[in-house]
Amino acid sequence: MKQEVEIMLKSKEINPTVNRMLVLDYLLELKSSISLTDLELSLESFDRVTLYRTLKTFEERGLVHKIEDGMGITKFAICQDSCEAGMHHDLHVHFYCHSCKQTFCLPKTQIPEVKLPENYQRQEMELIVKGICSVCVK
């Protein structure tokens, strides 16, 4: 497992330090996305700034992507395989649960095509659905 994480980092040209392997390992296990603050609480061994820079590095190298959770908090999640550095293919839907405050990627739910008014040029899209997730609904 550690081996696998190390290989992932190297394949993105990221120096596999202990910190970075721990963070990546944590993110890979994670079912949803996570904010910097929550990551800090989960991995107490490292400084907030270090985690901040780790996530920033991961994002720049196309390992994770940022999600605006629709409540003003930035969260991070592992990219799909199809992502590359500087070019995220992140057109799936994100789901924010009002109950557990988690933000889930719904990779199987594509954002439908949207027609824009004339002369509007699209570059990215974000679709956030808010409600109650399948765990909290029970």
Residues that bind DNA (CB under 7 A): 14-15, 17-20, 35-37, 45-50, 52-54, 56, 72-74
Please name the residues in contact with 95: beta carbons below 8 A apart, sequence gap of 6 or more. Answer: 103, 104, 105, 106, 128, 129, 130, 131, 133
Residue 46, binding choice from DNA, its own copies, none, Cβ under 5 to 8 Å by partner class: DNA
- For residue 128, which of 104, 114, 77 has the smallest C-alpha distance? 104
The least distance separating its own copies from the CB of residue 32, rounded to whole angstroms, comes to 13
Could you tell me the two tokens for 108?
Answer: 């199987």
What's the CA gap between 56 and 95, in Å, rounded?
Answer: 23
Toward DNA, which CB reaches closer, 22 or 105?
22
Q: How far is the CB of 59 from DNA (least distance, A)?
A: 10
Given the complex with DNA, which of 56 and 92 has the nearer CB atom? Answer: 56
Cβ distance to DNA smaller for residue 26 or 46: 46
